[in-house]
Amino acid sequence: MSATAAQAPQSARPPRPSQRQRAFADRTRGRVRRRRVANTAMTVVLGVAAIVATLPLIFILWHLVREGATALSLDFFTQMPKPVGEAGGGLANAIVGTLILIGIAMAIGLPVGVGAGLYLAEYRRSPLATAVRFLSDVLNGLPSIVMGIFAWQFLVRPVGHFSAVAGGVALAAMMIPMVTRTTEEMVRIVPVALREAALALGYARWRTSITVVLRTATAGIVTGALVAIARIAGETAPLLFTAFGNQFWSVRVNEPIAALPLQIFNYAVSPYDEWHALAWAGALVLIILVFLISLAARFATRARFGGMGD
Amino acid sequence: MPTRAAPAPAREVRTRVAVRSLDAFFAEVHAIKNVSLAFEDRSVTAIIGPSGCGKSTFLRCLNRMHETIPGARVSGSVELDGTDIYAKRSNPIRVRQHIGMVFQRPSPFPTMSVRDNVAAGLRILSKRPARKETDAIVERALRRAALWDEVADRLDSSALGLSGGQQQRLCIARALATEPGVLLLDEPTASLDPLSTQRVEELLYELRKDMTVVIVTHNMQQAARVSDTTAFFLSGELVESAPTRVMFTTPADPRTEAYITGRFG
């Protein structure tokens, strides 16, 4: 990053280099060597950092497969939890519960998030947009347990009991700022030329937003939504005092519902080996779920780059 | 290819679009200064001038696109067939349906097929044509844009699969589908190769037979080739407007002469 190294003298024989030239050549050779060493060292350091960055995931996966794979069977997906001491049993209720919670969160979070993002992009400079943008960034950084407390305060306490809806709302509140910001970004990168082309055809502004801008940005928004879903799928804290968990089969949204992260937590802190095994298996299933969603997000992203041209 | 030398023989001259003391602003910038200009039916008018002289802004005033930019405003009047498009009761959306526009960069809708792109303007009409009728309109528009033979077998594939020149002709077809009486083109060949440029120019020659065409261009040879009338803009003002042949041989204003002989711009 310092002086130019361009003029390294080629060790030309005739005429004989003068004293000064030789000294210069020595200095330059020294510098080149130093740079080469620094270069190699930095490459190694950064490479190690890159490996360390992914190490936790590799370690976790390896550990989960080792501990959880044995408990993973068809029963795990189809059977209810068994009492302590009985062999077998599964987490069917928790798997279904997690899917229901994600469903509720999506039903609330996607329309609100996409709508808010579209607003932010279309009315970029309005005072409301500026405020909403700032607040959603704050919301994005809010600890998830706070979301749980909020949902408990407004949806559990007044009703008097835990419910899947309260859990879904807490998850939606986490999801909304993420979806809002990705939607805004994706809508913003739609070329102005497309907007103008639609307006020039006689499209009203709202119609331009929906049929041209939003449609062009759809693949990117889907990617953002999937990433947000992957993030909330494994959340435990917002569910602790909202969805609460349930040892029994329940698909009713106004009652406590089981969820994979909660079940993993409960089993992991229990003293029983069978439950520990189930917790490992549950964690493995959760990570596979998140992995699949991320994979889908990747495909959606690719579709976007295929679709946008340029 | 028809000969281009002689502008169409003597015919009844009718003013299609009349601009009267038009001023346009971007927030504080006075971009168009008191311009009055008339565009005749069945003719091509070229607008030339150096970069930043307000050519494009002027063009965008003709279909009320200028005001879509935040802070932009317009005063004066633009009459289309005798009706002021800036009148209080005038609806910009209606105006834009009657005055088509094509931009510098081809801008097909990326999520739509070739067919849907051409039909995009039809879907918002109060009387939406039936499916069969739409197909006929799409074909007619593509034929007028000299694109039909190249895309007839891939109407349902993505418009992004077309080449740049084809995309631009697709945009022209899209603008023609709703049968506007006036077509505005903002440097339509600026991003095209010479061959595609030639095709678009030939196309303009055909379009002139039944509509009013206004084209903004940087290229003076192009203006000389395609237009019946040329208007020269400089720093937001209309310097001179005259039949193209006259303009390029005996310009009245010394600034016009300086520009077209390449002394500036």
Q: What is the pLDDT of residues A50-78, one digit of tens each?
A: 999 999 989 988 988 888 888 888 888 88
Rg from Cα positions in chain B: 18
- Strand partners of residue B234: B237
Sheet holding B29-40, edge to edge: B29-40, B15-26, B72-80, B83-84
By C-alpha distance, which of B164, B125, B122, B161 is closest to B139? B122
* Residue ranges covered by each domain of chain A: 22-70, 74-308
pTM given for the model = 0.75
- What was the pLDDT predicted at A310? 36
**CB atoms A196 and B171 under 8 Å:** no
Q: Tell me if chain B has a CB within 8 Å of the CB of A214.
A: no
**CB atoms B107 and A216 under 8 Å:** no
Shortest Cα distance, chain B CAs vs residue A121, angstroms: 14
**CB atoms B110 and A200 under 8 Å:** no
Q: Tell me if chain B has a CB within 8 Å of the CB of A189.
A: no
The closest CB to that of B103, out of A197, A215, A218, belongs to A197
- What was the pLDDT predicted at B227? 94
By C-alpha distance, which of B53, B71, B63 is closest to B19? B63
Q: Helix, strand, or coil here: B19?
A: strand
Residues 6+ apart with CB under 8 A from A66: none
- What was the pLDDT predicted at B25? 93
- What was the pLDDT predicted at A9? 54
The closest CB to that of A201, out of B68, B120, B158, belongs to B120
What value does the mean pLDDT take over residues A268-273? 89
- At what angle are helices B194-207 and B131-144 packed, to 10 degrees? 110
Percent of chain A at pLDDT > 90 equals 40
Q: What is the pLDDT of residues A20-51, one digit of tens each?
A: 888 888 888 889 999 999 999 999 999 999 99
DSSP state at residue A42:
H
What value does the mean pLDDT take over residues A140-168? 89
Distance CA B189, CA B103 (A): 9
Percent of chain A at pLDDT > 70 equals 93
DSSP B82-136: TEETTSTT--HHHHHHHEEEE-SS----TTSBHHHHHHTTGGGSSSPPPHHHHHH
Q: Taking 90 as the threshold, does the pLDDT of residue A113 lie above it?
A: yes
DSSP state at residue A270:
S
Element (H, E) at A7: none
Which CATH number among 3.40.50.2300, 3.40.630.40, 3.40.50.300, 2.60.40.420 corresponds to the domain B15-260? Answer: 3.40.50.300
Helix, strand, coil percentages in chain A from 3-state DSSP, rounded to 5: 75, 0, 25
Q: Taking 70 as the threshold, does the pLDDT of residue A6 lie above it?
A: no
- What was the pLDDT predicted at A2? 47
Res. A7 pLDDT band, cuts 50 70 90: low
Q: Which ipTM score applies to this complex?
A: 0.88
Q: In terms of DSSP bridges, do strands B229-234 and B237-243 run parallel, antiparallel, or are they unpaired?
A: antiparallel
By C-alpha distance, which of A127, A129, A301 is closest to A223? A301
Average pLDDT, chain A: 86
Q: Taking 90 as the threshold, does the pLDDT of residue A253 lie above it?
A: no
- What was the pLDDT predicted at A10? 57
Which CATH number among 3.40.50.620, 1.10.290.10, 1.10.3720.10, 1.10.10.10 corresponds to the domain A74-308? Answer: 1.10.3720.10
Residues 6+ apart with CB under 8 A from B121: A201, A202, B97, B174, B175, B177, B178
Q: Tell me if chain B has a CB within 8 Å of the CB of A212.
A: yes
Query: Per-residue confidence of chain B (265 residues) as pLDDT tens digits?
Result: 444 454 555 556 788 899 999 999 998 899 999 999 999 999 999 999 998 899 999 999 999 999 998 889 999 999 999 899 999 899 999 999 999 999 999 999 998 999 999 999 998 887 788 888 999 999 999 998 989 999 999 999 999 999 999 999 999 999 999 999 999 999 999 888 898 899 889 989 889 998 999 999 988 899 999 999 999 999 999 999 999 999 999 999 999 999 988 876 5
The separation between CA B157 and the C-alpha centre of its own chain, rounded to angstroms, equals 27
**CB atoms A201 and B105 under 8 Å:** no
Distance CA A149, CA A160 (A): 14
* Residue ranges covered by each domain of chain B: 15-260
Q: Taking 70 as the threshold, does the pLDDT of residue A90 lie above it?
A: yes
Residues of A in contact with B116 (CB under 8 A): none
Q: Taking 70 as the threshold, does the pLDDT of residue A5 lie above it?
A: no
- Locate A129 and state its tokens: 């947009």
DSSP H helices in chain B: 55-61, 92-98, 114-119, 131-144, 148-151, 164-176, 194-207, 220-226, 244-249, 254-260
Question: Which of B95, B107, B158, B162 should be substituted to probe chain A, the one whose Cβ sees the most A Cβ atoms within 10 Å?
Answer: B107
Residue scoring higher pLDDT (A12 or A13): A13
Q: List Cα–Cα distances, B249 to B224, B238, B253, B257, in angstroms.
A: 10, 19, 12, 9
- What was the pLDDT predicted at A13? 63
Put residue A10 in one of left, alpha, beta given phi > 0 → left and psi -120 to 50 → alpha. beta
